[in-house]
Structure formats: structure tokens, C-alpha cells
């Protein structure tokens, strides 16, 4: 405490003998007692078990450290309203440039074919507003059951995943590409290949280079050789043409 006031201070090594303490304008150099200074470390294994107690994650008891001290994989979780389990990561320090860069590099090295839920220990307001293909990032603090301590409420989380982010863009998509909103109108896509096409076109549009080779988009989406146009990939529906153009072997999102 600084001069007996209710104010925390930063401890530094003494320039004279290296002893940890702080300089007080009223008292000079102050060396705190052993009980006044302490360092604490989070037990992440215990924290993850507490957070995910109601989500039935397959590897929560033995998380995989994907980036040391920053990102962990905790397995597949059961989310209300979703038939299939969802891959879950837990990440921290996403507000720090180096932390975000490490996370971003990991998403590129381990791309998600569908939805991957990233539970961030960084609050929502500190998470960079950047599109990360296939990844839905949710701040843990926003989905906690505050009556149960450190426990995520599955219903709140499900509602959050069903809500698309409003980036003030004319078009937005869910992380898995299943729902596209264009100027307030929603489009739902159930086919995995169609979702993959939409995700790649959206990523290109978001990056500022919307035009893509149709053949490359179809190949990356896992379409067979007979599916050589978007019209064939989106067979039996034409509403995709409301916001996607295909012409001369190229395709792009147009708004």
C-alpha cells in the first residue's frame, strides 16, 4: 500500500541491493513483508473443468495445449439446438497483438471445416473485430451463469451462437456459413459444400479481393468433377444469385 492509502503499487528491484519493493514519497524505500506481496498462477485445468461443466466436452479433463499458454483444445461439446457436436477451443490474451497473431496463425494451420467455437478469456470488447473463417469467438464473461460462479450457461451460449454479429457491413455470415444475412434478409444453406463455397467467397470479399476462380472455389469445397459451375453446386435453388455472381470462369460476392 502506498503511504497507507488504499492504492496498489508496482514492486520493482531496489537500485541499491536489488530487493523487491517500492519508493514512497513519504517514507522512502519500502520493502513489503512476505505476506504483503504474492504471485498467483491460474490452474487452467481446474478453470476449464469449472467453465465447461454443463457442456459435456470430450477432452475437458485433458485439454490439448495448441499454443503454449494461449490456446487449448478441449474437444467436442454438445450445444443446445445443434444436432452435431461443436469443436471447442479456449483462448486467452486475444487483445494483445502477439496473442492475436499466434491465434490467427493457428486458425490457418488448423482450419475448421465447419463451426469451431472459441471461448475467449478476453472479454468481448477486447477481441479484435476481424473475420476468422470458420471460427466463432465468444467472450466467456458474456455467457456465464453468474448464479453458478465460473460456469458457462449452455442456453445463453446457444442463443449467442444463433445471433450474427452486426459489423455494419451489408453482408454477414455465421462462422460455419450456414446463415447469410444480406441487408437484413436471411438465407439458410444446409449443404456442407455450399457452406464452404460461401465461406471462401465471403473471406475473399472481406479481404478486398472478391473475384475468385470458380474452379478453385469448387475444388476447395470438395465438389466432384461434374460440378463445374456454381449453378450445379447450388442446384434446386436460385436465391444465391441475389448476392453471388458467376461469369467467365470467375465468381464473386456482389452487393
More confident residue, 192 or 149: 192
Q: Residue 175: exposed, middle, or buried by beta-carbon count in 10 A (0-12, 13-18, 19+)?
A: buried
Distance of CA 186 to the CA centre of its chain: 23
Residue 107's pLDDT band (boundaries 50, 70, 90)? very high
Residue 2's pLDDT band (boundaries 50, 70, 90)? low
Looking at residue 3, what is its pLDDT? Answer: 57
Residue 134's pLDDT band (boundaries 50, 70, 90)? confident
Looking at residue 38, what is its pLDDT? Answer: 73
Looking at residue 6, what is its pLDDT? Answer: 63
- The mean of the pLDDT values for the chain is 87
Summarize the confidence of residues 204-212 as an average pLDDT.
Answer: 91
pTM for the full predicted model = 0.65
| Cβ-based neighbour number of residue 135 at 10 Å | 21
Query: What are the domain boundaries of the chain?
Result: 1-40, 44-162, 171-253
Query: In three state form, how does the secondary structure of 170-197 look?
Result: CEEECCCCCEEEECCEEEECCCHHHHHH
Q: Is the pLDDT of residue 57 over 90?
A: no
Taking only the tens place, the pLDDT of each residue in 43-54 is 998 999 999 999
Q: Is the pLDDT of residue 36 over 80?
A: no
Summarize the confidence of residues 11-20 as an average pLDDT.
Answer: 89
- Edge to edge, the sheet with strand 179-182 lists 171-173, 179-182, 185-188
Residue 214's pLDDT band (boundaries 50, 70, 90)? very high
Amino acid at each position: 500500500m502506498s503511504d497507507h492509502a488504499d492504492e496498489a503499487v508496482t514492486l520493482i528491484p531496489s537500485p541499491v541491493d536489488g530487493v523487491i519493493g517500492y519508493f514512497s514519497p513519504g517514507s522512502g524505500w519500502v520493502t513489503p513483508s512476505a505476506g504483503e506481496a504474492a504471485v498467483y498462477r491460474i490452474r487452467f485445468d481446474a478453470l476449464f473443468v469449472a467453465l465447461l461443466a454443463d457442456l459435456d466436452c470430450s477432452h475437458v479433463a485433458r485439454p490439448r495445449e495448441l499454443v503454449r499458454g494461449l490456446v487449448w483444445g478441449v474437444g467436442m461439446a454438445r450445444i443446445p439446438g445443434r444436432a452435431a457436436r461443436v469443436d471447442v477451443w479456449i483462448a486467452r490474451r486475444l487483445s494483445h497483438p502477439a496473442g492475436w497473431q499466434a491465434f490467427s496463425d493457428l486458425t490457418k494451420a488448423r482450419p475448421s471445416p465447419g463451426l469451431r467455437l472459441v471461448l475467449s478469456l478476453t472479454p468481448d470488447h477486447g477481441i479484435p473485430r476481424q473475420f476468422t473463417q470458420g471460427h466463432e469467438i465468444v467472450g466467456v464473461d458474456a455467457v456465464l451463469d453468474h448464479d453458478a460462479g465460473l460456469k458457462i450457461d449452455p442456453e445463453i451460449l446457444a442463443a449467442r451462437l444463433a445471433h450474427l454479429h452486426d459489423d455494419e457491413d451489408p453482408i454477414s455470415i455465421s462462422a460455419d456459413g450456414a446463415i447469410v444475412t444480406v441487408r437484413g434478409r436471411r438465407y439458410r444453406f444446409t449443404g456442407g459444400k455450399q457452406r464452404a463455397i460461401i465461406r471462401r467467397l465471403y473471406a475473399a470479399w472481406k479481404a478486398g479481393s472478391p473475384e475468385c476462380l470458380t474452379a478453385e472455389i469448387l475444388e476447395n469445397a470438395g465438389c466432384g468433377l461434374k460440378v463445374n459451375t456454381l449453378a450445379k453446386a447450388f442446384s434446386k435453388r436460385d436465391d444465391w444469385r441475389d448476392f453471388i455472381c458467376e461469369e467467365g470462369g470467375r465468381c464473386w460476392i456482389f452487393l
